[in-house]
Amino acid sequence: MRRLLRSVVMRERRSISLSHSSCNMVAGFSFGANVHVFVGAFVGGSAAFTLARVLPAVNQTPSLSLNSSDDPRSSQASEAEAAAHSIDRSSMAPAAAAGGNEEAAAVRVLGGRMSPFTMRARMALELRGVAYSLVEERFEPRKSDRLLAANPVYGKIPVLLLPDGRAICESAVIAHYVHEADHWPAATPSTLFPSDPYERAMHRFWTAYVDGTFWPALDAASLAPTPEARAKAAAEARAALLLLEEAFAARSGGGTFFSGGEAPGLLDIALGCFLPALRACERLSGAAMLDEATTPLLSKWSRSFVGVDAAKAVLPETDEVVGFTKFLQAKFGVALPN
């Protein structure tokens, strides 16, 4: 019986792997001089509404919600299984590094410079003063053996590679690890999580809300196929921001950031990594999402956040994201007004 069950499980795993690989194998393109565009890296893995147009046989769901790199629904494996596992160091051949430190660091991040989830992981490292290098992953003609070895469960970015060969996947899990680990050389004390257990729980709750509700709406506000769908998504994104405005008032305690202090925490980088996409959406649509009239606290917070050294080191300029978004719109035939 045990042997029979094992056989069934292995067949299911192979089926899941093939389906998952199909859903997430996304083409890479060169955009501008040095920007490598990953349709999917930008959204942290795959956008359900985008890939439904590319792979209709795989994803028939009309929903505009995302299956992001941080969404455990994209696999039947548990988040704990994806969070940390050993990898074969022989598959980790040196690759071109960008961002972080100019010299290759022992700690590496597999990701994409334009991926918000990669930005989140990088900002966690930046805030702790951890030396690292960013290894740009290219998805064309196929995902790298390095990425598939580091994240065999999802095959998505970002992945934090430790010097001893272990890998940690999922941007929020990476931030948790960066906060808790005490082995970083010359690292600064972590401010990523509040000291109070209830406040830590609230930061985790609102981080999940940002990823599960706000980001899918914001992404669809730029990339949904029709003007009507984009307008609906933009309204949903604004509604989410109103709730986050209330969350900021409750959590910040009058401080500069959600953390309640003068340095950003987990919830700050969870929302802050989407600011470039938000500003690009505002510029392309001509309608504000963050403004002094409706979200005065978040408007002030956003200005403070982008001025933090960790954010300045990671976040791309709005013009670059606008160009990137236009590329995606053209690629997927987004209907734009004449």
Integer CA distances (angstroms), 92 to 17, 110, 149, 165, 307, in order = 21, 11, 8, 8, 35
The answer on 211 and 175 residing in a single domain is: no
What amino acid is encoded at 41 in this protein? A
Classify 35 as helix, strand or coil.
strand
305 assigned to some structural domain: yes
Residue 162: give the domain boundaries: 25-180
Residues 107-131 have a mean pLDDT of 96
Considering the domain boundaries, does residue 292 fall inside one? yes
Q: Say whether 166 sits in a helix, a strand or coil.
A: strand
Rounded to 10 degrees, the C-alpha dihedral 149/153/155/159 comes to -70
Phi, psi of 141 (to 5 degrees): -85, -10
Total-model pTM: 0.73
pLDDT given at position 330: 93
pLDDT digits (tens, 9 = 90+) for 30-83: 333 333 333 434 434 333 333 222 222 222 222 232 334 433 222 222 233 333
Place of tokens 């299984």: 81
Classify strands 108-111 and 133-136 as parallel, antiparallel or unpaired. Answer: parallel
215 with 323, same domain: the answer is yes
- Residue 44 per-residue DSSP state: T
Q: 162 lies in a domain?
A: yes
The reply to whether 293 and 261 lie within a common domain is: yes
In a domain, 187, yes or no: no
**How many other C-beta atoms can be found within 10 angstroms of the C-beta atom of residue 133?**
21
How many domains, the chain?
2
CATH code: domain of residue 154: 3.40.30.10
Write the pLDDT tens digit of every residue in 199-245: 999 999 999 999 999 999 999 999 999 999 999 999 999 999 999 99
Which of 180, 211, 232 is a domain's end point? 180
Which of 196, 223, 301 has the alpha carbon at shortest distance from 65?
A: 223
Residue of higher predicted confidence among 251 and 13: 251
pLDDT digits (tens, 9 = 90+) for 4-22: 444 433 443 333 333 333 3
Reported as a pLDDT band with limits 50, 70 and 90, residue 336 is: confident
Do residues 170 and 203 share a domain?
Answer: no
